[in-house]
Copies of this chain bind each other. A is one copy, B any other.
């Protein structure tokens, strides 16, 4: 990443110079912003809707490793993870504030690259970047995004609305981001041991992309609306399917049965899991960072989604007190754990 090209120390610009330099590149993607970056606060027109707000931190060496994370991808991801939280309320993101604290190892060119990724995500998702803060930090890089979306209260979907009998659905496929991370970590170890080795990521664009450049499933939110489906509960999968099932289970006071053979797993994810000696089901259940949507729908809506290639029905809700369980391909029931799953008797 930090190649030998011409670099500029950010101190030469100063804070205000840097902000002006970066915000010059902002273009508005929607008409809800009345005042953007450059005043004490942004002013936004909710157009009669209620306001959704969500915020996420990304920290170097905790959430990302600069050894294998391109800065533009990182900026893109830092924006998208915030957008995903707004989608998870059955809404689309409209505005973003984005703050960065960076150490002196980050040059102006590096920060520009990062910011370009944020702007690319904003362009793709038609979100306006309306503010933020920048400052130095003794070491590392910290990114803080806050996304704002709008919806009518009656269309907002919480985690708490699932009821017994509802179908449990997931968008896309699972475990890819986790297997991408395993691959990147392995190639990093190889590189650190033998610097003349080139990382072997070929033919693994899919899982590497799932890790480095996730997408927020706005398309699913729009599809559900077109299909006339109002999910009964919803959240996005950032920490792993199992963990999120427990969140919905707890908030909705229902338990879930999940069928192992219904878990959507991409072939590349499956193969890489086998190569690493990881059970693909475990990768799908506990992997995290897929940013797919997990939601429940009323059974009456099943016909509307049963042939949708982007949505898998993976289980159903039942009365609380029966525990969240995974029904294996062999037809055995295992108790699901927030992280992982165990035999009921263990």
Q: Which residues of A contact B (CB under 8 A)?
A: 34-35, 38-46, 50-57, 59-63, 85-86, 88-89, 91, 95, 97, 99, 101, 130-140, 142, 144, 146-149, 151, 153, 156, 158-160, 234-236, 251
Contact in complex: A62, B138 (CB < 8 Å): yes
> Can you sample 21 A-B contacts with CB below 8 Å?
A35-B156, A39-B159, A39-B160, A39-B235, A39-B251, A40-B236, A41-B147, A44-B50, A44-B52, A51-B51, A53-B95, A53-B97, A55-B97, A55-B146, A56-B133, A59-B136, A60-B138, A61-B138, A101-B142, A137-B142, A138-B139
Give the dominant DSSP class at A's interface: strand
Cross-interface CB contact of A99 among B55, B135, B149, cutoff 8 Å: B55
Q: Which residues of B contact A160 (CB under 8 A)?
A: 39
Q: Which residues of B contact A159 (CB under 8 A)?
A: 38-40
Name the CB-closest residue of B to A85. B40
Contact in complex: B55, A51 (CB < 8 Å): no
Given A59-B136, A99-B144, check contact A54 B40 (CB 8 Å). Answer: yes
Q: How many copies does the complex hold?
A: 2
Q: Which residues of B contact A142 (CB under 8 A)?
A: 57, 59, 101, 137, 142, 144
Q: Which residues of B contact A34 (CB under 8 A)?
A: 50, 153
| Alpha-carbon separation in the docked complex, A45 to B153 (Å) | 9
Contact in complex: B41, A53 (CB < 8 Å): yes
Q: Which residues of B contact A56 (CB under 8 A)?
A: 99, 133
User: Measured between C-beta atoms, what is the minimum distance from A77 to chain B in Å?
Assistant: 15
| Alpha-carbon separation in the docked complex, A54 to B132 (Å) | 7
Contact in complex: A41, B52 (CB < 8 Å): yes
| Alpha-carbon separation in the docked complex, A107 to B20 (Å) | 38
Q: Which residues of B contact A57 (CB under 8 A)?
A: 99, 101, 133-135, 142, 144
Name the CB-closest residue of B to A51. B44
Cross-interface CB contact of A138 among B42, B91, B140, cutoff 8 Å: B140
List the 6 shortest-distance A-B pairs measured between CB atoms, nearest first: A40-B88, A41-B54, A144-B144, A41-B52, A146-B146, A44-B51
Cross-interface CB contact of A55 among B45, B46, B132, B136, cutoff 8 Å: B132
Q: Which residues of B contact A133 (CB under 8 A)?
A: 55-57, 144
Given A44-B53, A50-B34, check contact A62 B135 (CB 8 Å). Answer: yes
Name the CB-closest residue of B to A44. B51
User: Measured between C-beta atoms, what is the minimum distance from A340 to chain B in Å?
Assistant: 14
